[in-house]
Structure 1
Amino acid sequence: MSHNIMPLAPHHLDAVWQIEQAAHSFPWSESLIRQAPSKIAVNLVLEVEQQVVGYCYGQLVAGEATLLNIAVDPNCQGKGYGKILLRGFIDRLAGLGAEEIWLEVRASNTRAYQLYESLGFNEINRRYGYYPTETGREDALIMTYLVL
């Protein structure tokens, strides 16, 4: 299957919004998904056979990048698309001069944690009670990746 990673464009937003709602138990608001990107934004989509299967939102400031949101359509998970998308994000940031990439992940999201770790992210800290859950709060694990 052919895949393509490209900058997120306005015509991708309906698909991104659908995936956001399906993939996250606490999705971003639609206005946040559809907000016009700032000059520091690094927002990408992954298309397979011209269909959006995943996306990520990030930003880059003075060599320090942050992955703010990433998701793969639940109907397309388990096929390696998350890894392809995250590798594309890392490569794009490296090309833009990033030195370090930061992210936060729910402590309970072991699949995402394992994906990040497999690509070279390291856990460096924890934010206690950071994320809402159905029954209270859960910790955020802070991970970082050094771009070589």
Structure 2
Amino acid sequence: MRQVGPNHYSPMTPADLDEVVAVEVRAYPFPWTRQNFADSLEAGHQGVCLRAVDGTLLGYFLLMPVVDESHLLNVCVVPEMQGNGLGVQLLQEIVRVSREQGMGGVLLEVRPSNVRALRIYERFGFEQIGRRKGYYPASGRREDAIVMRLSWETDRAVA
């Protein structure tokens, strides 16, 4: 467990999944299922929870190592806590964990309609490297994904 201000990080375990999924369904119109999270943890992907001093879940992320970089599978801040810098804290922890594991960068996909996330990723130093057509489910259609990458050479975040 690692402290960050009054908050702390802890590994995501199966015991966290009910709480994580409850946040996920509030945060996203097309949320991951409990089974998606369970399968990811079982596959050895690294899940991390950000919690307040009282244990309240503030956010989480899941990382999958792919050769020499981390693939950010899911990141979320509890909806009522968004806009308070927790997304940046989570990104800083994602970079710290990835560097600690010897990775050279972080790859992610984001919906073009998720303007808030796009702005945070761009300010953090992520650069668009591609687009995946019809990647995400959307109401009655599919939505593309913007593929972004942060390499340590372009990292503008506080290390």
TM-score (norm: length of structure 1): 0.91
1:54 Cα deviation from its structure 2 partner: 0.6
Aligned to 2:135: 130
User: 2:50 aligns to what SS in structure 1?
Assistant: strand
Q: Pick from 70, 75, 82: which aligns with 1:70?
A: 75
* Structure 1 segments (4+ residues) deviating >3 Å: none
Q: Pick from 22, 25, 42: which aligns with 2:26?
A: 22
Distance in 2 separating the partners of 1:37 and 1:3: 26
Which structure would you say has the larger RCO, counting Cα contacts within 8 Å and 6 or more residues apart? 1
Q: Pick from 13, 17, 21: which aligns with 2:17?
A: 13
User: 2:133 aligns to what SS in structure 1?
Assistant: strand
Is the Cα contact below 8 Å between 2:69 and 2:98 reproduced in 1?
no
Please tell me the residue identity of whatever aligns with 2:27. A
User: 2:84 aligns to what SS in structure 1?
Assistant: coil
| Residue pairs, 1:38-117, within 5 angstroms | 38-39=43-44, 41-49=45-53, 50-117=55-122
1:79-138 Cα deviation digits (max 9, x unpaired): 111110111011111001011211000011010011111111101111122212114222
Tell me the number of residue pairs that the alignment of Structure 1 and Structure 2 aligns: 147
User: 2:10 aligns to what SS in structure 1?
Assistant: strand
Distance in 2 separating the partners of 1:86 and 1:64: 15
Q: Runs of 5+ in structure 1 lacking a partner?
A: none
1:11-34 Cα deviation digits (max 9, x unpaired): 322211111111110011221123
Q: Over aligned residues, Cα RMSD in angstroms?
A: 1.5
Distance in 2 separating the partners of 1:126 and 1:136: 17
Is the Cα contact below 8 Å between 1:12 and 1:52 reproduced in 2?
no
1:58 Cα deviation from its structure 2 partner: 1.1
Distance in 1 separating the partners of 2:66 and 2:135: 23
Please tell me the residue identity of whatever aligns with 1:31. Q
Moved more, 19-28 or 133-142: 133-142
Is the Cα contact below 8 Å between 1:123 and 1:144 reproduced in 2?
yes
